Chain A
């Protein structure tokens, strides 16, 4: 790691003041991604501002019947919180599908959103990477791209966002609460992460002097019919090749409302209102699920090694929706896929 100076932020206002005063500084909370990237010399901040002690560790019910999750709530505490387990089991399941318990104990809710890609070339500092060094080129497009994106890519970048939690938050219509020098604002989940376009160095629309203070999830938790299915090279403790968050509201066998989001396939959790709208009013069965998969995967493009993801994603979507419809969510400990 490079030498850096260290300071602790006493409250949110202090954190914003400190980051505004030093553009070369970075916030650190759980540190599970940033410290690792510093060890690889991908990140080399001159100063770390420790926000891990900020009073953003509660999970509170909102007047609208949803929850406001403090940005510093550890991932494990969030997954095991009774209100999350009961009302938002899709979120609990997605969190428990990611990382290891040690990392979930460390990682913060806000930091989970700000994870950087796991693209091999982003980590390998001797190769070109537009995300790490803008303008240097993308090594993945013609390189080893088995883990890379098939949707929403650009000529500059085919990286994926690595989070599982964010895929569930996208499906649940979460909103991100942020604060900055100009005050507080909330960002709808689809507007938080960006597609790479010509500026892949920017992962999100969070400004450099802003801080995430919390995540709000609306009342609707889809706790009867949901599933999170993660397909990866190992049974546990590996990033998704493809993951699917599915949530259904059923009236008998008819789909009243559907939510569908993919992980491991794009620079952000991948959702398309058209795919969800197409399921509404349909019989909850393979025909509707296949049509939704086709709509969600419209425009999918492989880059060689990752061509398999397109077919894998289609089958995973149909399977996950079917698990949700049957009320038999994928277990994150018993790995057999039913």
Chain B
């Protein structure tokens, strides 16, 4: 045991658990991959499937940059183990446009200049896609509240709300 006031060392295991074979349908494409149990969905998307549009911000479910849609619902992929989503359908920001046409939310974010550095944007857009699918937000207050899981440190919030309102009107 470590002494109080010091970090406890990681538990050592003689043999690392074997990787587990899973299947994900990501942006419409069925993909098989073997993942360690501790691989998050975020790391699987970014490091294994090269879908780097989904961002790792805080990695603790506090910023929303990693937001993706799993079976149509928005979740934090950083707090999701890939093995637990075996068989799921995942939509990332790369999967929103169709046939070269931007998703209405992507177009609205451009129209309203709803970003500055852009790091939170893919999470914002995926989250907003989830929000529109849920159908619970009608007013600007409700959009703000139900988008509170996505932090924008540049402070582009007014334009983000305006962009979402535009996309809601056109959906």
Contacts and interface: CB of A to CB of B under 8 A. Distances in A.
Interface of A: 1-6, 28, 31-32, 35-36, 38-41, 44, 46, 48, 50, 52, 76, 80, 99-103, 105-106, 125-128, 133, 135-137, 235-237, 331-335
Contacts of B50: none
Contacts, number: 121
B76 A5 contact: no
Given A28-B81, A31-B79, 16 more contacts: A4-B38, A6-B17, A6-B81, A39-B59, A41-B7, A41-B8, A44-B10, A50-B84, A80-B136, A101-B149, A102-B74, A105-B73, A125-B8, A137-B4, A237-B148, A331-B141
B127 interface: yes
B145 interface: yes
A5 B17 contact: yes
A31 B131 CA distance: 22
Looking at A40, A106, A332, the one whose CB has the most chain B CB atoms below 10 A away is A106
Nearest to B15: A3
Given A103-B149, A136-B4, A28 B84 contact: yes
Q: How large is the interface on B (under 10, 10 to 19, 20 to 34, 35 or more residues)?
A: 35 or more
Contacts of A32: 61, 76, 79
Q: Mostly helix, strand, loop or mixed at chain B's interface? A: loop
B146 interface: yes
Contacts of A36: 60-61, 79
B36 interface: yes
Contacts of B74: 101-102, 105
B5 interface: yes
Contacts of A237: 148-149
A333 B141 CA distance: 6
B6 A126 contact: yes
Contacts of B40: 35
A101 B134 contact: yes
Contacts of B131: 101
B84 A106 contact: no
B100 to A, nearest CB: 29
B7 A39 contact: no
Contacts of A331: 141
B154 interface: no
Nearest to B134: A101
